[in-house]
Amino acid sequence: MGKKRIGILTGGGDCPGLNAVIRGVAKTAINQYGMEVVGILDGFRGMLEGRFTILDYEKVSGILTIGGTILGTDNKTDPFNVLEVVNGKKETVDKSDVCMEFYRDLGLDALICVGGDGTLTIAGKLAQKGANVIGVPKTIDNDLMETDQTFGFDSARHTATEAIDKLHTTAQSHHRVMLVEVMGRNAGWLALESGLAGGGDIILIPEIPYEIDEIIAAIRRRNRFGKRFSIIVVSEGARPKGGEQVYQRIVDDPAEPKRLGGVSNVIARQIEQATGIECRVAILGHLQRGGTPTPYDRLLATQYAVKAVELAVEKKYNHMVALKGRDMVAVPIERVMGKQRLVPRNSPLIEAAICVGTSFGVKMD
């Protein structure tokens, strides 16, 4: 009987810590269990196109501290919904059988899929078709169900907090309102935690639709008490009460056709018109997904990697590794598929923010 062989792919948007997971999986599999490790290039697109590399000690050496992913990634390809031109018309086609054929041709005993809700939903569907899948939770949005924290979030939170810290001085010097727009999609974890850590005066998150009059009132209250500047931390998915989210563009992409972004510019114009106070907008964008992972993310990613290989050895397939308290556990991947973990209104962080005078752009009960 030959060596066991496991595969690993990274899907969705990149984030700090992906290379730490790749390193952890490869070194644990080779060192502890004598396995072969196959790295699939560019996520599920690599599966469709049959592209892979063999991961050995040399290839994963020295990548712990490096951002991005040596395997490449892709956040547009869903094998179950591939956009193609059929009879002169664009249609989505199910090509998941191509992935399954590639999976079988490689002779994989298990496939470790590292990604967010989109990646793990696809992984779960492949599991239903017969693949032995193990999920590892990755996203700067921290919005995956069943785990206390995803890797990548701490690094993004650090980047966003550092940006807020730097903007404080220029806001204070010029007596301006500075709006800092962070990522997060429909979940406000990144805005909430970086805003609270960075001393944001107003934090706007998707879970609490804002009222522009309340934002303006909060700015005016600060002015009356001698605070001639304000910092507003805005999640890209924030929306006004009774209104819609703001999209920077809508693209021909079945995986993610609507691209959030730009809500801060809308709010800035409204504030300037109502108060005459000069506003400036800083949209952090992909800065939050790049750079060196924090020590915490390196530790978390390594622990996830080791546990994922253990699950493969135990043949506990079709599960995702999750952090519960301080423990690494396994949860069925179907509990994660197609869901998002949002900030609850009774979050202790929201309560703490209110206690220190932070506004959420609405009158809180």
String of DSSP letters for 112-127: EEEESHHHHHHHHHHH
Is there a domain that residue 364 lies in?
A: no
Is there a domain that residue 192 lies in?
A: yes
pTM of the model: 0.94
- Are residue 331 and residue 280 in the same domain, yes or no? no
Is there a domain that residue 360 lies in?
A: no
- Are residue 146 and residue 17 in the same domain, yes or no? yes
- Are residue 245 and residue 297 in the same domain, yes or no? no
Per-residue model confidence (pLDDT) at position 156: 97
Structure tokens at 99: 């992935």
What is the extent of the structural domain holding 24?
5-151+291-335
Per-residue model confidence (pLDDT) at position 252: 62
Cα 210 to its chain centre, rounded Å, is 23
- Are residue 184 and residue 208 in the same domain, yes or no? yes
Per-residue model confidence (pLDDT) at position 256: 66
- Are residue 216 and residue 349 in the same domain, yes or no? yes
Pinpoint the alpha helices (H) of 94-151: 96-106, 117-128
- Are residue 142 and residue 160 in the same domain, yes or no? no
- Are residue 109 and residue 242 in the same domain, yes or no? no
Is there a domain that residue 139 lies in?
A: yes
Helix (H, G, I), strand (E, B) or coil at 257: coil
Helix (H, G, I), strand (E, B) or coil at 172: helix
Is there a domain that residue 362 lies in?
A: no
Per-residue model confidence (pLDDT) at position 255: 60
Per-residue model confidence (pLDDT) at position 260: 85
Per-residue model confidence (pLDDT) at position 16: 96
Per-residue model confidence (pLDDT) at position 175: 86
Structure tokens at 141: 């949005």
From the list 78, 141, 143, 154, the catalytic residue is 141
CA distances from 30 to 69, 239, 309 (A): 20, 48, 10
Is there a domain that residue 82 lies in?
A: yes
- Are residue 21 and residue 120 in the same domain, yes or no? yes
- Residue 81 burial (10 A CB sphere; 0-12, 13-18, 19+): middle
Per-residue model confidence (pLDDT) at position 90: 84
- Are residue 349 and residue 228 in the same domain, yes or no? yes
Non-local (6+) Cβ contacts of 104 within 8 A are: none
| Structural domain total, the chain | 2
- Are residue 76 and residue 137 in the same domain, yes or no? yes
Structure tokens at 164: 């807020």
Per-residue model confidence (pLDDT) at position 251: 63
- Are residue 125 and residue 166 in the same domain, yes or no? no
Is there a domain that residue 190 lies in?
A: yes
Please confirm, yes or no, whether 141 is among the known catalytic residues: yes
Give the chain's length: 365
pLDDT tens, N- to C-terminus, the chain (365 residues): 568 999 999 999 999 999 999 999 999 999 999 999 999 999 999 999 999 999 999 999 999 999 999 999 998 899 999 988 877 888 889 999 999 999 999 999 999 999 999 999 999 999 999 999 999 999 999 999 999 999 999 999 999 999 999 999 998 888 899 999 999 999 999 999 999 999 999 999 999 999 999 999 999 999 888 888 899 999 999 999 999 988 887 666 656 667 788 899 999 999 999 999 999 999 999 899 999 999 999 999 999 999 999 999 999 999 999 999 999 999 999 999 989 999 999 999 999 999 999 999 998 86
What DSSP line would sit under 62-93, residue for residue?
Answer: T-TT--S-TT---SS--TTSEEEEETTEEEEE
CA 78, CA 253: separation in Å to the nearest integer? 10
User: Domain of 196: which CATH number?
Assistant: 3.40.50.460
- Are residue 36 and residue 145 in the same domain, yes or no? yes
* Phi, psi for residue 89 in degrees, rounded to 5: -120, 145
Cα 71 to its chain centre, rounded Å, is 18
User: Domain of 95: which CATH number?
Assistant: 3.40.50.450
Is there a domain that residue 361 lies in?
A: no
